[in-house]
A and B are shown apart, each in its own frame.
Chain A
Amino acid sequence: MSLVETFFNWEVFVSSFPLLLSGLRVTISLGAVSIVAGLVLGLAIALIRLYGVRPAQLVARLFIDLFRSIPILVLLIVVYYALPFVGLSLSPFMSAALSLTLVSAAYTAEIFRAGIEAVPRGQFEASFALGLNYRQMMRDVILPQAIRIVIPPLTGNCINVIKDTALASVVAMPDLIKQATQAQALEANPTPLIAAALMYIAILLPLVYLVGRLEKKSRREYTQ
């Protein structure tokens, strides 16, 4: 068998394509759900970590440290295989989304915290001096500036979340890589795996370029 027939077999590709496409849809929706939920939760945790009452700050800190140190694969296995013992059975999608969200939220919280802390003190003082309350200050003054600072690292975190969706295949999630390995077994040919790899790259490569460009841009703005 030639290399092309083995790894780039057109017939195998065509017959496995519908399966791959459904996997891709699952991967994208899992990624999207986890990214959005992670953003919202991460922002909330960052605000608690910075401005909450002391005990709440400690909890937020513990959350961040815990979920940054646990490997996602381990978390995923615990959520999917261990939680049913305490009566909490989650579907593969829910398990994967929960695990990815928790870890993404921990990283996002740190990114937001750094972004908020990078907004100069004078912006807080000017807001207070004008009589803005805490919420108004955050919404109208601090967060719009912090978000510009955090967009490049947040995009980087999105890339990690999408990559990590591949781990969900261990809990029988029919995502892109799971479907690809299944198709590979079915066809006795690795072409679907190569196709899956190319699909991952097709989604992520633009994001990788985007991060690079955003970083360059924010550096330029910073030095102005």
Chain B
Amino acid sequence: MTAVISINHLSKRFGTFLALDEIDLNIETGEVVCVIGPSGSGKSTLIRCINLLESFEHPSTVVVDGTPVKKDKNLTSIRENVGMVFQSFNLFPHLTVCQNVSLAPMRVRKKTKDQAVEHALALLKQVGIESQADKYPDQLSGGQQQRVAIARALAMEPKVLLFDEPTSSLDPEMVGEVLDVMRQLAKSGVTMVVVTHEMGFAREVADRVAFMDNGKIIEIGTPSDIFDNAQEPRTRHFLSAILAH
């Protein structure tokens, strides 16, 4: 197996604050990695560096599918191949659901409108909202919007899907429908990096779980390594605080 994402000595500062501190992480094709940890530990910053939504410090390297991530002409082609699902959905409010999903394949992959729409409808069906294709995002519930966002990311047929706390801004009753879609994707072999507070999901779906704190990966391993058998006191402390309620 080859690493589709290879992160080496990744550091990131916001002013004097060290958000990421020499992170090393390889992600294999087909793998599902969940990143957990307290707020402000750098989880979101970590995945935002993978498609350069955040820049990072000089000697760090991030390589996606053999191409180093930096601000050059390869950047858009890396971004095409790295899908992202945001906490706040970030759907395009002036476009219909179907247009949201078909826009990038038409513009970037140069698909015809018919091809793009056909594919979009198939993806909307896959996430269970094909009947909403002609509505606008603000006519949908949060859970539906997030499923559209997942379909939009899938439409580019990315090699990796990044999820940045995809259920954190959802009402509790809608979390399940989004996690169900993500669970299916994981089963179908999509490579996923998921920043999440959903410990049940991480335990059930992840191949590996990474625990982050203060900009470092404190511990990484299989779900049972982390959830049942954590070696580091900080990991145990975090998990006991979370699982206590």
Contact = CB atoms under 8 A, between A and B. Distances in A.
Contacts of A145: 92-94
B94 A125 contact: no
B104 A132 contact: yes
B146 to A, nearest CB: 13
Interface stretch (A24-32, A63-71, A136-144): A136-144
Interface in A71-126: 120, 122-123, 125-126
| A interface majority secondary structure | helix
Contacts of A223: none
A224 to B, nearest CB: 7
A148 interface: yes
A131 B79 contact: yes
A4 interface: no
Contact of A131 (B80, B90, B92): B80
Contacts of B143: none
A10 interface: no
A130 interface: yes
Q: Interface size for chain A: under 10, 10 to 19, 20 to 34, or 35 or more residues?
A: 10 to 19
Q: Interface size for chain B: under 10, 10 to 19, 20 to 34, or 35 or more residues?
A: 20 to 34
A131 B152 contact: no
Interface in B70-102: 76-77, 79-84, 86, 88-94
A218 to B, nearest CB: 13
A136 B138 CA distance: 23
Contacts of B108: 130-132, 136
A141 B51 CA distance: 19
Contacts of B91: 126
A121 to B, nearest CB: 9
A1 interface: no
Contacts of B79: 128-131
A224 B93 CA distance: 13
A140 B103 contact: yes
Interface of A: 120, 122-123, 125-126, 128-133, 136, 140-141, 144-145, 148, 224
27 contacts: A122-B86, A122-B88, A122-B89, A122-B90, A123-B92, A125-B53, A125-B84, A125-B86, A126-B91, A129-B53, A129-B79, A129-B82, A129-B83, A129-B84, A129-B86, A129-B153, A130-B103, A130-B152, A130-B153, A130-B156, A131-B108, A132-B108, A133-B76, A141-B92, A141-B103, A144-B94, A145-B94
